[in-house]
C-alpha cells in the first residue's frame, strides 16, 4: 500500500525511526496529508523534546495541550486542507493523572495515589513511565477522541520500540504475577509492613531488600497496593492495545535519512518491528541531497572569470572556483545519499517502498514549510529531485 492510501485508511499511524531524521516533522506532514484528504487527524508526539511545536511554529503549545488548526489557518499557509488538524504533545504527568482520574473512582484512594512520593516521581519524567502513559493516552484518544486518524510520533529508536513493547511488558509483568506475588498479602490484610512482606516472600524478599533497602520495598509495595485498583483495567487495555497495534487498523512508517551513521540503526528498528510481527507500510528517507545538475561547459568559467576581472571584479576567479567547488561538493553529497539509499534497501531486505525526500534546504519551522514537505512526500512530480 502506498503512503497516501495508508493515510486514507489507517486509524493509527505510528512513526518510528532514529533521532534527528525529521521524524516528528514527517509525522506532522502525514497529519497534514490526512487533513487534505478530509480526515480529522491528531498528531501526537511523546518525544520529551518540544520538536512538534518547533516544527509547526507553535511556540506556545504546552505539553498536554491539544490544539486544533482550523481549515482556514491551514489554507492561509497554502495547505489545500479539507479538515482541521489537531496537534498535541504528551505530558506524561498529565496523562498519568488522567488515567488515575478515569480509573480510580474512590476519591480518597485517588488522592493518596496522586500524593504518593513514588507516584509524583514517576510522573516527573522518570524514564519508562512515559511509555506506559503514552500507550494509555493513544488508546484513549483512538477510542474516544473523535479522530479519524491518530498519528503517533515515538521517541528515537530504542525508546520508540520500548513504547511498542509497553503493552507486552505490562502484560508480561501482570501475567507472571510478579506484582501479585508481592502484593497479595497486602491485598488480603489491607495493610502492609515488614511482617507481611516476610510472610509473602520470605527468603526472596529478604534478599531483594538487601539490594534495594527494606524501606524502599515497603514504599514500593505501598504504592503497588494503591495502584492495584488500576491493574485489571490496565491488563484489559494493554491486551486491547496490543491487538490494535498489530491489527490492520494500525500502520507503521519507518522514517530515516540516507546517512551511513543511521543505516544500522534503521535495520535494527526494522528487525525489532519484524520480531513484533509488524512490517512498515513505508520507509521515508528524509534529507536527501538534491542533484546539483550539470557543470558549465569546459573553459566557460575561466573565460567568464577573465572577463569579470577585466571589468574590475578581482574576486571573480576565486568566486567562480568556489562555485565550482560548491557544486562538486553538492554532487558528492547527492551521490553519497543515493548510494546510501541502495545500501539501505538491501539492509531492509527490499521489504517495502523507500520514499526518498529531497532536503528542503532549511528546517521546517512553520506550516508553510510543512506543506513543502507534504508535497515532496505526496506530490513527487511537483516537489521531486529537479
Partner 1 sequence: MQAPAHPPALAPLLARRLLALTGKGGVGKSALAAALGLGARARGKRVLLAEVRAPRRLPALLGVRVEDDALRELQPGLLWVNLQPEAALEIYAMRLLKLRAVYRAVFEQRMVQSFLRAVPGLAEILMLGHLRALVDESGCDLILLDAPSTGPGAMLLEAPQAVVETAPLGALRDGAEWIQRLLTDPAACAVLLVALPEELPVNEAIDLHHRLRRGGFPQGAALLNRVLPDPFPPGAEAVFARLGTPLAARDLLAATRAYRRRLAGQRAHGERLRAGLALPVVELPELVEPAFGPQAVQRLADLLGPALGEGA
Contact set for partner 1, span 199-228 (CB under 8 A): 203-204, 207-216, 218-220
Site mask for partner 1 (CB under 8 A), range 13-42, x = bound:
-----xxxx---------------------
Site mask for partner 1 (CB under 8 A), range 286-305, x = bound:
----x-xxxxxx--xx--x-
Phi-psi label, residue 299: left if phi above 0, alpha if psi -120 to 50, beta otherwise:
left
- Cβ 243 to partner 1, closest distance in Å? 21
Closest CA to 260 of 188, 347, 136: 347
- From 5, 143, 194, 318, residue interacting with partner 1 (rule: CB under 8 A): 318
Of 121 and 279, the one with the shorter C-beta distance to partner 1 is 121
Closest CA to 357 of 336, 339, 338: 338
Site for partner 1 in 65-104 (CB under 8 A): none
* Residue 306 binds partner 1, judged by CB under 8 A: no
Phi-psi label, residue 257: left if phi above 0, alpha if psi -120 to 50, beta otherwise:
beta
- From 70, 101, 143, 181, residue interacting with partner 1 (rule: CB under 8 A): 181
Exposure letters 133-168 (e unless 16+ CB within 10 A, then b): bbbbbbbebbeebebbbbbbbbbbbebbbbbbbbbe
Site for partner 1 in 245-284 (CB under 8 A): 257, 259-262, 264-265, 268
* Residue 172 binds partner 1, judged by CB under 8 A: yes
- Cβ 89 to partner 1, closest distance in Å? 12
* Residue 57 binds partner 1, judged by CB under 8 A: no
E strand segments, 92-247: 149-153
Please tell me what DSSP assigns to residue 282. E
Site for partner 1 in 101-120 (CB under 8 A): 117-118, 120
* Residue 197 binds partner 1, judged by CB under 8 A: no
Neighbours of 246 (CB within 10 A): 14
- Cβ 319 to partner 1, closest distance in Å? 4
Angstrom distances, CA of residue 73 to CA of 33, 56, 86, 325: 15, 12, 12, 42
Site for partner 1 in 342-381 (CB under 8 A): 361-363, 365
- From 62, 76, 111, 126, residue interacting with partner 1 (rule: CB under 8 A): 126
Q: Are 316 and 309 in contact (CB under 8 A)?
A: yes
Q: Give every CB contact of residue 318 below 8 A, 6+ residues apart in sequence.
A: none
* Residue 173 binds partner 1, judged by CB under 8 A: yes
Q: Phi, psi at residue 41, to the nearest 5°?
A: -115, 150
Indicate if the alpha-carbon torsion angle 300, 302, 307, 312 is positive or negative: positive
Of 102 and 324, the one with the shorter C-beta distance to partner 1 is 324
Please tell me what DSSP assigns to residue 256. E
Of 145 and 356, the one with the shorter C-beta distance to partner 1 is 356
Instruction: Match 571573480 to its residue by C-alpha cell.
Output: 316
Of 35 and 348, the one with the shorter C-beta distance to partner 1 is 348
* Residue 319 binds partner 1, judged by CB under 8 A: yes
* Residue 324 binds partner 1, judged by CB under 8 A: yes
Of 160 and 280, the one with the shorter C-beta distance to partner 1 is 160
Q: Are 41 and 150 in contact (CB under 8 A)?
A: yes
Instruction: Match 539492509 to its residue by C-alpha cell.
Output: 347
Stretch that binds partner 1, among 69-77, 97-105, 127-135, 346-354 (CB under 8 A): 127-135
Closest CA to 195 of 229, 221, 168: 221
Amino acid at each position: 500500500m502506498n503512503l497516501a492510501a495508508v493515510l486514507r485508511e489507517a486509524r493509527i499511524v505510528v512513526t518510528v525511526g532514529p533521532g534527528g531524521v525529521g521524524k516528528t516533522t514527517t509525522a506532522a506532514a502525514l497529519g497534514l496529508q490526512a487533513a487534505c484528504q478530509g480526515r480529522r487527524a491528531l498528531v501526537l508526539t511523546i518525544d520529551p523534546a518540544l520538536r512538534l511545536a518547533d516544527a509547526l511554529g507553535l511556540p506556545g503549545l504546552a505539553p498536554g495541550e491539544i490544539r486544533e488548526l482550523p481549515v482556514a489557518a491551514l489554507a492561509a499557509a497554502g495547505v489545500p486542507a479539507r479538515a482541521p488538524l489537531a496537534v498535541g504533545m504528551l505530558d506524561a504527568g498529565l496523562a498519568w493523572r488522567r488515567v488515575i482520574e478515569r480509573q480510580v473512582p474512590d476519591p480518597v484512594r485517588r488522592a493518596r495515589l496522586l500524593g504518593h512520593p513514588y507516584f509524583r516521581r514517576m510522573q516527573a519524567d522518570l524514564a519508562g513511565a512515559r511509555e506506559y502513559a503514552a500507550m494509555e493516552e493513544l488508546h484513549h484518544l483512538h477510542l474516544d477522541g473523535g479522530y479519524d486518524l491518530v498519528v503517533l510520533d515515538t521517541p528515537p529508536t530504542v525508546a520508540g520500540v520500548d513504547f511498542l513493547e509497553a503493552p507486552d511488558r505490562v502484560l508480561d509483568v501482570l501475567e507472571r504475577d510478579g506484582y501479585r506475588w508481592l502484593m497479595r498479602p497486602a491485598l488480603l490484610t489491607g495493610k502492609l509492613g515488614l511482617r507481611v512482606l516476610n510472610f509473602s516472600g520470605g527468603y526472596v524478599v529478604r534478599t531483594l531488600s538487601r539490594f534495594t533497602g527494606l524501606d524502599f520495598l515497603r514504599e514500593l509495595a505501598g504504592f503497588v497496593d494503591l495502584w492495584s485498583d488500576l491493574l485489571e483495567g490496565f491488563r484489559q487495555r494493554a491486551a486491547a492495545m496490543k491487538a490494535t497495534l498489530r491489527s490492520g487498523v494500525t500502520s507503521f512508517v519507518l522514517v530515516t535519512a540516507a546517512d551511513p551513521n543511521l543505516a544500522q540503526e534503521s535495520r535494527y528498528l526494522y528487525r525489532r518491528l519484524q520480531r513484533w510481527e509488524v512490517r512498515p507500510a513505508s520507509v521515508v528517507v528524509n534529507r536527501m541531497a538534491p542533484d546539483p545538475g550539470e557543470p558549465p561547459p569546459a573553459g566557460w568559467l575561466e573565460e567568464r572569470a577573465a572577463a569579470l576581472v577585466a571589468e574590475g571584479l578581482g574576486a571573480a576567479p576565486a568566486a567562480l572556483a568556489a562555485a565550482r567547488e560548491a557544486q562538486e561538493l553538492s554532487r558528492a553529497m547527492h551521490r553519497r545519499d543515493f548510494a546510501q539509499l541502495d545500501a539501505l534497501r538491501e539492509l531492509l531486505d527490499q521489504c517495502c517502498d523507500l520514499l526518498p525526500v529531497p532536503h528542503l534546504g532549511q528546517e521546517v519551522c512553520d506550516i508553510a514549510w510543512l506543506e513543502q514537505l507534504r508535497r515532496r512526500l505526496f506530490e513527487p512530480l511537483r516537489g521531486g529531485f529537479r
